């Protein structure tokens, strides 16, 4: 594939990501995606094989679930691993709000694309669950219910995709993504009673 073809594919994926987030999958047409990307309508079929496959390609390209493999060595010790996982999810939610919106829309609609999203997102939640179990067995985490604790952590991490809409409530209007991710991870570790993370 030439550089020009590669650039055009990325432009199509960026356009699709934006429109799927704004209008939903069903509310977005192939023509709209191509107009947004400045591409010929035939290129969707040529490069991807249809709108459904564009949706899959958007996730394959932009979703960071593949980083689990890259981070494998850093995800062994429960405390440091959970800290890293929470930071990564918060970072993703704040830097990829469109993907976060698409995920939410598809889950709410329980669409036929939900299994594709689940296949990519659930390994992250399963890893956090595994870290919680290992941390409790090693005596570094304290919690009563695994299920509720996992849900609280997921909710905490995902809540940052709404940060822009909540900004009028905040004292610090200029907080960075890195600082926010760090605060979220510390909040979780303190809630779990991890040593060394007291005030």
pLDDT at 6 over 90: no
CATH class of 64-191: mainly alpha
* pLDDT confidence of residue 58: 94
What separation in angstroms does the CA of 43 have from each of 2, 7, 9, 22, 28? 14, 12, 9, 22, 16
End-to-end CA distance of the chain: 53
88-136 residue pLDDT tens: 899 888 888 898 889 889 988 999 999 989 988 899 999 999 999 999 9
Residue with the bigger pLDDT between 155 and 148: it is 148
What pLDDT band is residue 1 in, cutting at 50, 70 and 90?
Answer: low
15-45 residue pLDDT tens: 999 999 999 999 999 999 999 999 999 999 9
pLDDT at 3 over 60: no
C-alpha count within 13 angstroms, C-beta hemisphere, residue 94: 22
Q: What is the pTM of this model?
A: 0.83
* pLDDT confidence of residue 70: 75
**Buried residues in 22-52 as b, exposed as e (16+ CB within 10 A):** eebbeebebeebbebbebeeebbeebbeebe
pLDDT at 173 over 70: no
- Please name the CATH architecture into which domain 3-58 falls: Orthogonal Bundle (1.10)
How far apart CA 198 and CA 191 sit, in angstroms, is 10
- For the chain, give every residue range classified as CATH 1.10.10.60: 3-58
54-94 residue pLDDT tens: 999 998 888 877 677 777 888 889 999 999 999 989 988 88
pLDDT at 9 over 60: yes
């Amino acid at each position: 594939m030439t550089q020009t073809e590669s650039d055009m594919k990325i432009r199509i994926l960026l356009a699709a990501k934006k429109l799927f987030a704004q209008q939903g999958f069903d509310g977005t047409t192939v023509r709209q995606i191509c107009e947004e990307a400045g591409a010929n309508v035939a290129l969707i079929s040529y490069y991807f094989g249809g709108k459904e496959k564009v949706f899959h390609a958007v996730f394959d390209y932009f979703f960071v679930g593949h980083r689990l493999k890259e981070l494998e060595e850093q995800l062994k010790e429960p405390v440091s691993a959970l800290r890293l996982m929470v930071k990564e999810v918060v970072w993703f939610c704040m830097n990829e709000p469109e993907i976060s919106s698409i995920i939410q829309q598809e889950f709410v609609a329980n669409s036929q694309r939900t299994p594709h999203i689940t296949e990519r997102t659930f390994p992250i939640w399963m890893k956090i669950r595994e870290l919680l179990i290992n941390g409790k067995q090693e005596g570094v985490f304290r919690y009563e219910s695994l299920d509720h604790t996992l849900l609280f952590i997921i909710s905490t991490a995902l809540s940052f995709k709404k940060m822009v809409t909540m900004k009028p409530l905040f004292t610090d209007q200029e907080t960075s993504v890195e600082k926010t991710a760090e605060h979220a991870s510390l909040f979780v570790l303190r809630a779990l009673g991890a040593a060394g993370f007291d005030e």
